[in-house]
Amino acid sequence: MPQLWWVLGGAIAIAILVLASRGFVRSARTRAAVLDDVRRVLKGAVVEKPPGRGAQVRGRLGALEVTVELRSDATRPRQSPMWRALAVGPVAMERPVEARVGGWEGWIDPWLQLGETLAVPPGGGPEFTLHAEGTPTLDHPLVVALRRQGERLGPGAFHARPDLMRIETGFRSTVAENRSLLAYLNAMAEISESARTPAPGAVGPRVSSHGVLPEGR
């Protein structure tokens, strides 16, 4: 009888290892596919693998230098791994502002917890809150850019200040479930372009489920 338990235990252990390895392979494939989508969205983008870190994509979005990577945060296990994007360059913002979408936990800039809060109701997409040093309004460029993405948005955080923008959003097991990252990048592109005063009736960047569409497509 004890021998039977050893056999059953071994079989269970093997099954767990097989399932874990399949999950790891599926996760790696999804990460690679999403990074390739990001590479095609950014201008002049390249996929890099810095020492001691996973693959990342670096490229340009308008006047911004953008880096996108998948990271884990030991202090926030429920949201790890998460996509993180950093865009450095001129941003049409006078003061720092941060949006927390779909109940996202954690802050990119914890100091903004002390600022004014605006609750933005669902408008074809998830509800989110906007936090700023001044009093934010519904016509704020970040509110407009995020609401334009509609249902493509998933839980995440978007921080913007005059010299950079940062994004956090969750990683999911399938490519389709990671479309939120591209939606946030679309919002980032719109805010970057908003530095120029649009002509009356002008529209923001055209988007698809795969991200920003270049002109002529």
Q: What is the DSSP string of 139-175?
A: T-HHHHHHHHHGGG--SEEEEEETTEEEEEEE--SSS
Q: Phi, psi (5° rounding) for residue 179?
A: -65, -20
Q: Residue 134 domain-assigned?
A: yes
Q: Residue 170 domain-assigned?
A: yes
Closest alpha carbon to 99 in 77, 71, 118, 114? 118
pLDDT, tens digit (0-9, with 9 covering 90-100), for 85-117: 999 998 988 899 999 999 999 899 999 999 999
In whole angstroms, give the CA distance from residue 174 to residue 182: 14
Reported as a pLDDT band with limits 50, 70 and 90, residue 198 is very low
Determine the pLDDT at residue 8. 52
Reported as a pLDDT band with limits 50, 70 and 90, residue 5 is low
Distances in Å between the Cα of 187 and the Cα atoms of 22, 93, 163 are 34, 14, 16
Q: Residue 119 domain-assigned?
A: yes
Span 132-148, mean pLDDT? 92
What the block records as the tokens of 154 is 């998933």
Q: Residue 107 domain-assigned?
A: yes
User: Taking the complete model, does pTM exceed 0.85, yes or no?
Assistant: no
DSSP code at position 6: H
Q: Is 201 left (phi over 0), alpha (psi -120 to 50) or beta?
A: left
- Contacts for 1 with CB less than 8 Å, ≥ 6 apart: none
Q: Coil, strand or helix: which one is 69?
A: strand
Span 142-165, mean pLDDT? 94
Reported as a pLDDT band with limits 50, 70 and 90, residue 134 is confident
Q: Residue 217 domain-assigned?
A: no
For residue 111, the enclosing domain spans 2-212
Place of tokens 């940062």: 166
Q: Residue 89 domain-assigned?
A: yes
What average pLDDT does the chain have?
A: 81
Q: Which residues of 143-180 are buried (b: 16+ CB within 10 A; e: fewer)?
A: bebbbbbeebbbbbbbbbbeebbbbbbbbbeebeebbb
Q: Residue 22 domain-assigned?
A: yes
- Contacts for 212 with CB less than 8 Å, ≥ 6 apart: 41, 182, 185, 186, 189, 205, 206
Name, of 5-9, 20-24, 132-136, the range with top average pLDDT: 132-136
Q: Residue 172 domain-assigned?
A: yes
Q: Coil, strand or helix: which one is 128?
A: strand
User: Measured on CA atoms in the order 51, 160, 162, 40, is the torsion positive or negative?
Assistant: positive
Q: Quote the number of domains for the chain.
A: 1
Closest alpha carbon to 181 in 33, 50, 25, 29? 33
Instruction: Classify residue 34 as exposed, middle or buried by CB count within 10 Å of its CB (0-12, 13-18, 19+).
Output: buried
In whole angstroms, give the CA distance from residue 190 to residue 95: 18
